[in-house]
Amino acid sequence: MFYQSHGNENNEIGVALILIGMSRNMGFGVLELGMSQKREMLELARMCSPNVMVILNVGASSLENFVSLKEVSMAKKGNFERCNFRGHLCFGFWRPSCHESYWPMGVKKVGEISTLKLLTVYYFESSSRMVALKAGSRPPWVGLGAAVWVEIAAGNAFTFPLYSPSLKSVMGFNQQQLTILGVANDIGENVGILPGIACNKFPPWAVLLVGVFASFLGYGVLYLAVSQTVQSLPYWVLWIALCVATNSSAWLGTAVLVTNMRNFPLSRGTVAGLLKGYIGLSAAIFTEVYSMVLNGSASKLLLLLTLGIPIISLAMMYFIRPCTPASGEDSSEHAHFLFTQGTSLSLGIYLLTTIILKDTLSLSNTVSYIFVAIMVILLMAPLAIPLKMTLFPANREKPCQPSDLLGGDGGSTQTDPLLTPSSSAAYLGSFYESEDISEVDMLLAVGEGAVKKKRKPRRGEDFKFREAIVKADFWLLWIVYFLGVGSGVTVLNNLAQIGVSLGVNDTTLLLTLFSFCNFLGRLGAGVVSEHSVRSKTIPRTFWMTVTQIIMIVTFLLYASALNGTLYAATALLGICYGVQFGIMIPTTSELFGLRHFGIIFNFMQLGNPAGALLFSGWLAGHVYDTEAAKQQVSSCMGPNCFRFTFLILAGVCGLGTVLSIILTIRIRPVYQMLYAGGSFRLPSSSDN
């Protein structure tokens, strides 16, 4: 049986009535889909799930709510790109010259129908700007499970306190020289502008491969220095090697974060908190391996980093790939995230417990190896989700595939851009940059009075980097983040020296405690902020305000040097430090979109090395060496070694608190728009 549309039943109501009224015995149907605004035809296409699409024209008659013919063409083309369509696309143009410049790369002409050449068949093929987009509900979770391991490898910068004492003693550095190396550690970890740009141009495996080479080269040089295989390496060589080594964190972390944020666009706060949480937990994981397997050998640790990071990244590279995200909220997705969060929390508690046991008891090598083996099993726990999906698949009605009618292969991959278009959500706006339309089309549009001036994007829509960087909210968020993480990383870089100055000889437990609490802060920031923003539309930056207030109290505790406060202050600071990361990432994506998220997010992260240079390199290092000179020793002892530094950092967090309050008030309307009704709301796309 055959059905065709009648009359003007081409809008959401008309098409819905047609679909409801069609008989189940209907073999074929030809439906007319009309469009007067952006996303209107996209929703109709998703409703119909067509096997063949025919675009009849791109003309000025559709320009009532569009800026240009280019925009009309892109909106119509979006049906093919964004509604999981894997069939044939046909379109005919009364003016054939008008469409070819509007269509993106990767579309190839394969034939013409009719002697009048009014209908031309096109299809998408792979090109340098296109990668395979994996379909289905299981692949994103496979990618997330693999991302956990890559994020652990990306947390290699947190190992600096483990090998820095050996580096200092072997090379004969003073504390300020060691602190400047700590700044190099932070610069390498957080300077991710190049990875952010690369994510817009290359597939994830290519970005990961750069991180593999960086870790091998950088940590290889450090291993040669600490093991004294090569004698008397210049200081500047070690500084550059440390920058290169820890810059692998930026390449590895950016690749998996951007890919997974786009694979789970409706749960970006949860995903960001989870992945960044594992980076925070990586310090405890490396500490466990360092103390239980490597017997506290700094040279063996550097050899592990030189070889282990490339091996892990290469093994997981295939699974880190863009996938087709879900088109709406899924209750099972929430349960899966709860499971993943629960297993990560269990891993954190397990690591803290085993390291305390190692610190207080004399454990045999066999017991230590068993502890490490259990840790590896817990790291593999997220893979239980795709395994469950494979063994117990959900009963879902499969959409009609193009191959059913058109003889396709019915494969599970479709060709689509790596960074799928988004305007604070999946599949919003065009992936391709707007280009000037031809003079003929512009004159035609002007003649019909349909051309309007393009507007700049509003907060919540997709921003280009040059558009975001001129916004006040962008710099407010950057400064608040800079003040929060800059003060926190100062303590992290000097944690071993802080512990020794206060009488703690073995600072391994301090580092593990900071790592665990850092993980709790990152994970908790995603969970708590996601709940508050959906239930009360409270901006995520509210939690930056709360934690910076707590950081003021924490630094005053450090400065007081009261008995029993060192571990409590370290735990509080670790949580607050982690929250800064867990809040900044989703906030950036919500204010400025996912389209250029990689470069915008990595520019935000420059606040970390900037804070390390200012507060750790110049302030803390100078204060420490000045006090050591007064004591006429190389290693300063007593609370005065860092007291003045802590008081300054308390004032820094006070300023951060004031600015974060201002930022929260400014962006509250954005969150009320994005999360009206308790769930993420798709904003209208901008015209850039």
Q: What does the DSSP assignment read for 528-541?
A: HHHHHHHHS---TH
pTM, two decimal places: 0.63
**Three-state helix/strand/coil letters over 56-120:** CCCCHHHHHHCCCHHHHHHHHHHHHHHCCCCCEEEECCCCHHHCHHHCCCCEEEEEEECCCCCEE
pLDDT tens for each residue of 335-377? 888 898 888 889 888 988 888 888 788 888 899 899 999 999 9
To the nearest whole percent, how much of the chain has pLDDT over 90? 21
Cα–Cα distance for residue pair 54/79, rounded to 1 Å:
11
Question: In Å, what is the CA distance from 505 to each residue of 500, 502, 570?
Answer: 5, 9, 16
Output the six-digit token pair for 295. Answer: 């017997």
**Which residue(s) pair with 54 in the sheet?**
90
So what's the pLDDT on residue 57?
A: 65
Please name the amino acid found at residue 614.
L
So what's the pLDDT on residue 432?
A: 33
Residue 67 predicted with pLDDT over 70: no
Please name the amino acid found at residue 188.
G
So what's the pLDDT on residue 434?
A: 39
So what's the pLDDT on residue 514?
A: 86
Average pLDDT over residues 317-343: 77
Residue 645 predicted with pLDDT over 90: yes
So what's the pLDDT on residue 420?
A: 38
* DSSP tag of 49: -
Between 356 and 256, where is the model more confident? 256
Average pLDDT over residues 535-543: 90
Question: In Å, what is the CA distance from 630 to each residue of 311, 497, 610, 634?
Answer: 48, 17, 29, 10
So what's the pLDDT on residue 306?
A: 94
Output b/e per residue, 21-33; b: 16+ Cβ within 10 A: eeeeeeeeeebbb
Q: What average pLDDT does the structure give for the chain?
A: 76
Residue 559 predicted with pLDDT over 50: yes
- pLDDT band at 187; cut points 50, 70, 90: confident
To the nearest whole percent, how much of the chain has pLDDT over 70? 72
Q: DSSP 3-state assignment of 350?
A: helix
Output the six-digit token pair for 563. Answer: 């008995």
So what's the pLDDT on residue 551?
A: 95
CA-nearest of 537, 558, 540 to 681 is 537
So what's the pLDDT on residue 78?
A: 55
So what's the pLDDT on residue 101?
A: 39
Q: DSSP 3-state assignment of 415?
A: strand
CA-nearest of 601, 609, 553, 604 to 576 is 553
Report the chain's terminal Cα–Cα distance, integer Å.
45
Residue 480 predicted with pLDDT over 90: yes
**Three-state helix/strand/coil letters over 259-291:** HHHHHCHHHHHHHHHHHHHHHHHHHHHHHHHHH
So what's the pLDDT on residue 25?
A: 64
Residue 431 predicted with pLDDT over 60: no
So what's the pLDDT on residue 625?
A: 85
So what's the pLDDT on residue 606?
A: 87
So what's the pLDDT on residue 483?
A: 94
So what's the pLDDT on residue 442?
A: 46
So what's the pLDDT on residue 273?
A: 79
Average pLDDT over residues 143-155: 90
Q: Which of 130-134, 140-144, 154-158, 336-340 has the lowest mean pLDDT?
A: 130-134
pLDDT tens for each residue of 388-409? 888 877 654 444 333 343 334 4
Q: DSSP 3-state assignment of 4?
A: strand
Q: Which of 91-105, 491-505, 658-672 has the lowest mean pLDDT?
A: 91-105
Cα–Cα distance for residue pair 383/606, rounded to 1 Å:
33
Between 25 and 408, where is the model more confident? 25
**Which residue(s) pair with 88 in the sheet?**
52
Between 84 and 634, where is the model more confident? 634
So what's the pLDDT on residue 172?
A: 84
So what's the pLDDT on residue 51?
A: 67
So what's the pLDDT on residue 475?
A: 94
Residue 329 predicted with pLDDT over 90: no
So what's the pLDDT on residue 413?
A: 43
So what's the pLDDT on residue 80?
A: 52
So what's the pLDDT on residue 377?
A: 92
- pLDDT band at 449; cut points 50, 70, 90: very low
